[in-house]
Every structure is written in C-alpha cells, then in structure tokens.
Amino acid sequence: MRIALIILLLTIKASTFDLNVTKQIPNGLIYNGEIYNVENYPYVVSVVVWYARYNSPQRTCAGSLIHELLVLTTANCVYKTDGFYYKVYQGSWIHNSLSRWVVKKFIHEDYDPDNNKDFISGDVGILKINKPFPTVKKYINIGGFPDDFAGGNVLDCIVIGFGLINEHTKGTEGFMNHVKVKYGEKACRGYYSKAIRYTWQQYLCTIPGHSATCQGDNGGPMICNGQLYGICSFSLNFNGEKGKPICGSENLQTVHIFVFYFRNWINDIIQSIELEYVTTKKPPDTKKKRPKIKKRKSAGKLIKPHIILYMISALLFYHIVL
C-alpha cells in the first residue's frame, strides 16, 4: 500500500511538472546580473523581430556571431514569423543605430512544436546577415564535449542576455551571470518530465540559484572555457507552482541547448555560406596595367631655327670672307 501511494505521488508530481514547463516566449532575460564588457564579448548580439505592418518590435532575443555573416540563436526566436523582418544589433538594440538586416534564416528540421507538444527538440536557428559588422573582428567558436562533464563534473560558465535585471526594471545594457552547469541524463532536476526525458542529450542545465537567466533568455550564449557551449532555450518550473515563474527562484531551472549535439548541422551551414561567398565574390583583376609613358620630345624638335637666322648667318659669312 505504501509503495503504491509513493508511485501515485510521483506520477502526480511528474504530470504537474509537465504542465508547468514555461512556454518558449522570448521575453525574459538575465536576472540579478552585472553589466558585461562589450569589448570582451564583441560577438554577442541582440535580435529584434519587427512587425512589418506597424514597424514595431514584436520580440527580442539574443545570439552569437559564429561567423562574420552568421548568428547562432534559438529556433523559437524566429519560428513562424512570416510577415516580420529581423534586425541584428551588436550588443543591446536600445539606443543603438548600428544594425544589420537578416537576409536568410535556418531552422533545424527537428524543431516542430506544432506536432511535438510534449517535448522540445532541435531548438537551434541560424541567421544570415546582409554584411559584417565593421567593428567586430572576433567571433566565438563552438565547443564542448560530453566528456567535459564526466563523473558528474560541474563547469563554471557565463551567460549573457539583454532585458530584465530584477522584478521591476528593464535593462538597456547587456548583462551577464556566472552559473554552474551540469550535463547528463539526470543533470536537470526535472529529468523525468516529458519535455526532456527522451531528448536530454541535447541540453545543458544550470544549477538553480539567485543569479540566473529568466524565462528563457532565448538565444543567449553560455560561454564555458572561452567557447560557446550552450544557447539559452527555456526554463523548467519543476516544483509544480502555478502562475508566472519567479526569476531567480530555486524552483526554476534554465535549460540550454548543448551545441555539441548540433555541431555537424552548424558546420554544414558555415561551409555552405563560405562556399557561396567564394563563388559570388568578384575575382580580383590580375591583369597588370602598364603605366602610360609620356613621350619626351627630342632636343632638336624643341627649337626650330627660323629662316632669318639662316640669312643672318649667310651675311656674316659673306662679310668675313670678303
């Protein structure tokens, strides 16, 4: 009887957890963070989805430049946004006039929230911008291996985003936090949830605490060992609490996409863009233009003797001889 009761309680808790997985709405950001140094992280960008009809921002996300023309973010940031246009800003988009247009987007084929309502998979997206940012000369490399977390190893990492910094304010700067990260089948406290039960290999989980990302911080980078390990995707309210999840709560765990899992897909897109760039770039003109050489007039042509000079010379000769 006691065993049956325990099983029943666990079942109720798991089902409650599934119902409270926070929706993938990219409107929450770094909570209890500190302003990050843009010079140290020049590749961090904000992505703004504009509603074309009213020319107003519909949503904002974060992302990372992994190539001079490519921004790595989440698929949910740009999913089902026909009729919208996108702009990418280096750093925060507020009070920032330096931006680039998005000319193409890539969404992983596994991302299908319309049909996969019980779990999240393939939440990775890449945006191609129209031209490079002139001041960005450093791009972040994707990295990380499952072996980095062998034996339950926990990594100290940095997450960066833009927006809410506490319960009452909205940041105009970019903010960062130091977090502890785990990986494995039971790394997330809600590992029994349908949301990640069968797709846990795709995720890194932060240990809940006072400083954290909030409600997704969608697309924001997780930087470990100087490389891009993760992309902020969604958060888990694993205590079964009703209502809006509280940022910084010990019951709210942020889940990041483990880019290692999608490295082949990402590299294929990078290679295709580089090949496209090479084939469309105008080849340099290899023909050497010979410098024009001005013809110098000879000394004999510079002074033409007048006929009078000949006459004077003849008269002088005549008088001297005669």
23-47 per-position pLDDT tens digit: 444 444 455 567 878 889 999 999 9
Highest-confidence range of 170-184, 195-209, 278-292, by mean pLDDT? 195-209
pTM over 0.85: no
The 10s digit of each residue's pLDDT in 104-157 is: 999 999 999 888 877 889 999 999 999 999 999 999 999 999 999 999 999 999
Contact present, 72 and 126 (Cβ < 8 Å): yes
Cα-based torsion angle of the residue sequence 274, 280, 284, 285 in order, rounded to the nearest 10 degrees:
160
- Side-chain half-sphere CA neighbours of 53 within 13 A: 4
Q: Calculate the average pLDDT of the chain.
A: 76
d(CA 178, CA 227): 14
Instruction: Name the pLDDT band for 283 (thresholds 50, 70, 90).
Output: low
Q: What is the maximal distance between C-alpha atoms in the chain?
A: 158
**Residues in contact with 41: Cβ distance below 8 Å, sequence separation at least 6, in sequence order:** 160, 174, 176, 223
Contact 214, 194 (CB under 8 A): no
How are beta strands 125-129 and 99-107 bridged, if at all?
Answer: antiparallel
**Pairwise CA distance, residues 76 & 220, whole Å:** 12
Percent of the chain clearing pLDDT 70 (strictly above): 62
Task: Report the C-alpha gap between 76 and 273 in whole angstroms.
Answer: 22
When pLDDT is cut at 50, 70 and 90, the band that residue 13 belongs to is very low
